[in-house]
Amino acid sequence: MSASGIGTSALLAFQRAIGTTSNNIANSATEGYSRQRTELSNLTPQFLGGSFQGQGVQVDTIRRISDDFVNTQLRNSISDQSNAELKASLAGRIDDLLGSSSSGLTPVLQDFFDAGQDLANDPTSSAARTVFLTEAESLAERFASIDRRIEEQRDIINGQIRTNVDEINSLTEAVAGLNREIVSKSTQGTPNDLLDQRDRVLNQLAEKVNVRITEQDDGAVNVFVGNGQALVLGGNNRELVAESLTGDPRSPDIGLATSGDPVNISRFIQGGELGALLETRTGIIDEAQNTLGRLAISIGEEFNNQNNLGLDLEGNLGANIFGISEPTVRGFPGNGSDGIPEVEVSDVRAITSSDYRLRYVGGEYELTRLSDGKNITLVPDDDLLLVAPEDEDEDGLVIHVDGLEAEEGDQWLIQPTRNGARDLSVEMTDPAGIAAAAAVRADLGEDNKGDATIASVRAVDADTLDLDAISVEFDGSNFIVNGDNDTPIQPGPDGVTTIAFNGWEMEIRGTPEAGDTFDVSSNVGYPGDNRNMLAMNELSDERLVGGDRTFGDGYNSLLANVGTRTRQAQVAQESANAQLEQARAQREAVSGVNLDEEAADLIRYQQAYQAAAQVISVSNSLFDSLLGAVRR
């Protein structure tokens, strides 16, 4: 090739290099832009005069400076940061709601207990009785108020879930479209700008959910979520749906659209805003609402039971003070049977704050506690009543399935406490109905000679309570109840004997003599008695919630749990922010535009371009001189 041709090849090559450098400078502030570099190589030399002579330079490609590993780290950091930031924000809202002195439960709960103490001090006071019912109504209203505000947060989260699903579908469609463009243009060269555009879309997708990317040989990428659910395969994308797939209309699940029913992949969704929304709804919203509901049910049931064991101002056994919700049961979409099992709480002190899934598989029912995934053993009774056995009494549920006509694979969602706070109400309208007096009293026989005394007597079972007068006589060896010699009761150790009969329980202390009697009768006619109200007040200090917490502790544990999660989210956010900043710096170090370097390259390419132009100029001058010599 002539000197002119060599110069021309250099001129064209450096012109391309100057254009690439100019493009880098122009896009130095463009988000997600990867700097480009013009790759040059020498043309194949020509054998002339016994040696190889160079033929100039050519542009091989415009290479995009990018590192897949660094880009993956950046996407993961983006996903983690958006996840932590949103979780911290959402958890903080619930923490503020529950812990506020104006909107929380603690002050109202204490006022209710204080009113009970005032009533115990003056059991016949109509004012004290009215205040007690008023505070009970305030307590029920506060439970309902907190529940409403939690539901408002649930609505906000559900709306954000649906919005995120729509945005993810738009982004995966964009990725699939870019895949098609990239594949179609890859035969003509590397479409650098399209690759940058696709990376930007993938980063936006990572903000919504944690994704895994694999690249195909043709340059297209596949996008997966969870444990391998494909959102994009080459030029095709699959849509997500947000709808109820587990029977709870208040909590839409994430499903992967198929030709049939959507496949529920909620449990596989991690990272990003969508992962944060699902984690917060399950780990904080559901837990807070269920725990609050369990506390409301426990308070209502315990105070009702105790009021049932006393006498009101009219001398009648006490009625219920509170109205309490029943467990919520819903069938899964797609169930073959329309039947819904009946679920009841058998032991309010044993219920948990978890939801459950009942499934009919292989002709048997399986119950799973969703909070920890534990399978709860069910024992069928003769009437097909399924009861958790004694070693599973922490769940306190009874499930009726008689006549359900379940089909294989049918499932039901059981929420024992979800609506407990919402539905707690005060059924009692007449303050006279508060049973402050004990239902039974006990007296020593007039002719007793021993030193035995009656330590206490109280009603213990409203269902079997009988207020008929009963006499207990000591025959010298045993206690005989109402002359029934067939069921003698031996004196207890250390001179303490407990006698249980007709729904009441009496404790005798000391040593009786033969013929001593202990008479139990109705307590009607003693309205100033406050023993049952004192027993009601003692409920506040007993560990009745879950078998290990007082009412106050039950709420405080909820506050502690939410507060801990909030702090964890805040710490995670701080860490994620630092990691994202580091990942972005690493990406900029590899793919970012350094204006100083580009300016130096621009000068270098400009000088090379001018030198190439000079080569052409000299070559033309020599050629003109040669032509002039020939003409002479």
pLDDT in tens, 166-199: 999 999 999 999 999 999 987 777 888 999 999 9
Does residue 408 form part of some domain?
A: no
- Model confidence at 623, pLDDT cuts 50, 70, 90, reads low
Q: List Cα–Cα distances, 331 to 168, 254, 336, 468, in angstroms.
A: 29, 18, 10, 48
Q: Are residues 115 and 244 in the same domain?
A: yes
- Residue 474, burial from CB neighbour count under 10 angstroms (0-12, 13-18, 19+): buried
Does residue 410 form part of some domain?
A: no
pLDDT of 67 strictly over 80: yes
Does residue 46 form part of some domain?
A: yes
> What would the mean pLDDT of 385-398 be, rounded to a whole number?
59
pLDDT tens-place string over residues 320-376 = 999 999 999 999 988 988 889 988 898 898 899 999 999 999 888 888 999 888 888
Does residue 10 form part of some domain?
A: yes
Q: Are residues 58 and 79 in the same domain?
A: no
Q: Are residues 458 and 575 in the same domain?
A: no
Residues spanned by the domain of 39:
3-65+592-631
In the chain, what percentage of residues exceed pLDDT 70? 96
User: 224, 238 in Cβ contact below 8 A?
Assistant: no
Does residue 230 form part of some domain?
A: yes
Q: Are residues 259 and 147 in the same domain?
A: yes
> What would the mean pLDDT of 46-73 be, rounded to a whole number?
84
Q: Considering only residues 102 and 432, tell me which one the structure prediction assigns the higher pLDDT.
A: 432
- As a whole number, the mean pLDDT across the chain is 89
Q: Are residues 40 and 102 in the same domain?
A: no
pLDDT of 389 strictly over 60: no
The tally of domains found in the chain comes to: 3
Does residue 56 form part of some domain?
A: yes
Q: List Cα–Cα distances, 548 to 192, 352, 535, 557, 624, in angstroms.
A: 63, 12, 19, 11, 106
Q: Are residues 56 and 83 in the same domain?
A: no
Beta strands in 294-403 (DSSP E): 310-311, 322-323, 328-331, 342-345, 356-361, 364-369, 374-376, 379-380, 385-387, 397-400
Interatomic CA distance for residues 338 and 331, integer angstroms = 8
Residues 6 or more apart whose Cβ sits within 8 Å of residue 582: 77
Does residue 391 form part of some domain?
A: no
pLDDT of 480 strictly over 50: yes
Q: Are residues 11 and 96 in the same domain?
A: no
Q: What is the pLDDT of residue 438?
A: 95
Q: What is the pLDDT of residue 261?
A: 83
Last residue of a domain, one of 506, 522, 538: 522
The H or E element containing residue 579 is: helix 551-591
Q: Are residues 196 and 84 in the same domain?
A: yes
Q: What is the pTM of this model?
A: 0.86
Q: Are residues 81 and 108 in the same domain?
A: yes
Range in 101-105, 132-136, 287-291, 503-507 the model is least confident about:
101-105
Q: Are residues 596 and 578 in the same domain?
A: no
Across 262-290, b (16+ Cβ under 10 Å) vs e yields bebbbeebbbbbbbbbbbbbbbbbbbbbb
Across 60-90, b (16+ Cβ under 10 Å) vs e yields eebebebeeebbbbbbbbbbbbbbbbbbbeb
Interatomic CA distance for residues 356 and 349, integer angstroms = 17
User: 253, 245 in Cβ contact below 8 A?
Assistant: yes
Interatomic CA distance for residues 60 and 329, integer angstroms = 68
Does residue 577 form part of some domain?
A: yes
In the chain, what percentage of residues exceed pLDDT 90? 62
Q: Are residues 579 and 599 in the same domain?
A: no
> What would the mean pLDDT of 71-100 be, rounded to a whole number?
92
Spacing of C-alpha 611 from chain mean position: 68
Q: Are residues 148 and 224 in the same domain?
A: yes
Place of tokens 């809202």: 93
Cα torsion at 83, 89, 90, 92 (round to 10°)?
Answer: 130
